Amino acid sequence: MIVQILAGLAVLAVFYVISLHNFLLFHTMAELFSVIVAGGIFMLAWNSRRNIKNGYLLFIGLSFLFVGAVDFLHALAYEGMGVFPDLQGANAATQLWIIARFIQAVSFLAAPMLTGRKIRTGPVFAAYFAVTSLLLLSVFQWHNFPACYIEGVGLTPFKKISEYAIVLMLAASIYILHRHKDSFDPGVLKLLYASIAAIIASELCFTFYVGVYDPFIVAGHFLKITGFFLIYKAIIETGLVRPQDLLFRELKQREQMLYRSKMEVEAANGELRQFAYIVSHDLKEPLRTVAGFAGLLKRKYSGVLDDKGREFITYIMEGTKRMDELISGLLAYSRVGTTKRDFAPVDMAAALEKAVLNLKMAIEESGARVESGQKNLPVVKGDATQLVQLFQNLLGNAIKYRREEPPRIAIRAERAEGEKNPAGCEQMGQGWLFLVSDNGIGIRSEDYERIFIVFQRLHEKGKYPGTGIGLAICKKIVERHGGCIGVKSEPGKGSTFYFGLPD
């Protein structure tokens, strides 16, 4: 910081020495400095126009091309330069100066109102081009721009009033900018304030001078250089060195907001999980009492009760058994999310093998054939226990929901192909898709989504026992792995359950 200030002062000192020896050279250099900065700001804004969501910066950026262009003409038209032989004296240069300052002040005034908006560069550019051209024509061609400097008399009232108007507009622009301060990085904002303040001070100097070579002019140009240097710091340096503060500030803010809502959702989810866990855990206790006493009643007082009484007790005991199953299911469901995410490479062929082993009884009883066309299912990153459970639930269902013939279950894996993935898995991106096909009773398409919801079953428990939690657990497991799950089926022929796991 100190080095930068010293360097800045050194530059100003060089400018000052030059101003003492050759004012024209000083003036040309000072103006060229602001022309170069203005050009740089324009180029930065123009090339990032598709990314800049902050209309302020884009608008200022576009306007600076025209400010810089008119300042350049001002430098060339300065008395003594001799570039435009037709324009004698200091009037034209002063007119051009005023035009540049008006464009700049109006731009600073309008820009804060565009802060949150997306501006269309084409029409803005065209408007600036039209207005600037008309003003230049009024100086160079039509000679009807109000006189700003009269030889021997000095500055005209028009020029002085214009400078005050410009100062007022710039001051107002600081105020309006301040009201939109939330859209800016605090560092950039400070630099913008300082820059506009320096330009205001510079304007005030130019209302005081009498001759074209005057100490106020030197001071005014120093302040203008300072103002443009600060704009350079605010826009060019920040834009190139810390683009996230300037151009992608919205992106950064959105990212922070997203992060915050993610944390909130996670906290809420955590509470909910805790709640489900505690409730299902605590419900077991009174249930055990009911079941226990119903059993006692049946054993000890069977003789006292009539047939109806014994039948009722059987209902109570069946009900408690069912409720116990449901609560256990719920407990298992709520546990899927509570265990710590501890992902490691999992060989899916081994996971399948384990699931088959756990289902050995059911497989033998039903005469099911489980075949994995690919001996080598891929290795994925995940929670091994849960992936075994996933296979086990799907295989278990394939066996349970069979038709008369013995179940045949095929498991295979294929690379996920993004949007070409089956329903529900389009968003997954790169990964593996696992497919478990059976030749069972099938599912109607209108039930494809319902079956993944807790307690949703398609059958009375008589024919197919179950709680309706198995697939809900499967869904929770794949979602915990960042994946997806779905089913395709032909009723009466069989179903294919698929789940995707991202890389």
Residues listed for the chain: 503
Which range touches ligand ADP (CB under 6 A), out of 72-80, 116-124, 289-297, 394-402?
Answer: 394-402
In this chain, which of 61, 227, 382, 470 binds ligand ADP, going by CB under 6 A? 470
Is 443 a residue that touches ligand ADP (CB under 6 A)? yes
Smallest gap from residue 427 Cβ to ligand ADP (A): 23
Is 95 a residue that touches ligand ADP (CB under 6 A)? no
Which range touches ligand ADP (CB under 6 A), out of 97-105, 175-183, 243-251, 458-466?
Answer: 458-466
Which position's Cβ is nearest ligand ADP? 466
Six-digit token string for 367 = 């005469």
Rounded to 5 degrees, what angle do the CA atoms 324, 326, 331 make?
A: 95
Is 15 a residue that touches ligand ADP (CB under 6 A)? no
Q: Which is nearer to ligand ADP, 388 or 469 (CB)?
A: 469
Q: In 3-state terms, what secondary structure has residue 448?
A: coil
Tell me the DSSP string of 176-191: HHHHTGGGS-HHHHHH
H-run or E-run covering 433: strand 431-437
Smallest gap from residue 460 Cβ to ligand ADP (A): 10
In this chain, which of 181, 262, 321, 459 binds ligand ADP, going by CB under 6 A? 459
Give the footprint of ligand ADP on residues 355-374 (CB under 6 A). none
> Cα(344)–Cα(362) distance, rounded to whole angstroms?
30
Q: Which is nearer to ligand ADP, 252 or 461 (CB)?
A: 461
In this chain, which of 160, 457, 480, 488 binds ligand ADP, going by CB under 6 A? 457
Name residue, tokens 């301040």.
Answer: 178
Is 440 a residue that touches ligand ADP (CB under 6 A)? yes
Relative orientation angle of helices 91-110 and 55-77, to the nearest 10 degrees: 180
Which range touches ligand ADP (CB under 6 A), out of 19-27, 166-174, 357-365, 465-473?
Answer: 465-473
> Cα(153)–Cα(147) distance, rounded to whole angstroms?
12
Total residues binding ligand ADP (CB under 6 A)? 20
Is 485 a residue that touches ligand ADP (CB under 6 A)? no
> Cα(226)–Cα(233) distance, rounded to whole angstroms?
10
Six-digit token string for 492 = 């009466």
Is 37 a residue that touches ligand ADP (CB under 6 A)? no
Smallest gap from residue 452 Cβ to ligand ADP (A): 7
Six-digit token string for 371 = 């075949």
In this chain, which of 40, 239, 468, 486 binds ligand ADP, going by CB under 6 A? 468
In this chain, which of 411, 467, 477, 478 binds ligand ADP, going by CB under 6 A? 467
Six-digit token string for 458 = 């398609």
Give the contacts of 208 (CB within 8 A, at least 6 positions apart).
216
Is 466 a residue that touches ligand ADP (CB under 6 A)? yes
In this chain, which of 495, 498, 499, 500 binds ligand ADP, going by CB under 6 A? 495
Rounded to 5 degrees, what angle do the CA atoms 304, 306, 307 make?
A: 140
Is 401 a residue that touches ligand ADP (CB under 6 A)? yes
Which range touches ligand ADP (CB under 6 A), out of 1-9, 217-225, 228-236, 470-478?
Answer: 470-478
Rounded to 5 degrees, what angle do the CA atoms 344, 471, 409 make?
A: 85
Strands 369-372 and 408-415: parallel
Q: In 3-state terms, what secondary structure has residue 132?
A: helix
Smallest gap from residue 390 Cβ to ligand ADP (A): 11
Is 458 a residue that touches ligand ADP (CB under 6 A)? yes
Given a contact cutoff of 8 angstroms between Cβ atoms, the answer to whether 137 and 95 are in contact is no
Tell me the DSSP string of 342-389: --EEEEHHHHHHHHHHHTHHHHHHHT-EEEES-S-PPEEEE-HHHHHH
Smallest gap from residue 259 Cβ to ligand ADP (A): 34
Smallest gap from residue 448 Cβ to ligand ADP (A): 10
Given a contact cutoff of 8 angstroms between Cβ atoms, the answer to whether 391 and 402 are in contact is no
Is 391 a residue that touches ligand ADP (CB under 6 A)? no
Residue numbers of the site for ligand ADP (CB under 6 A)?
397-398, 401, 438, 440-443, 451, 457-459, 466-472, 495
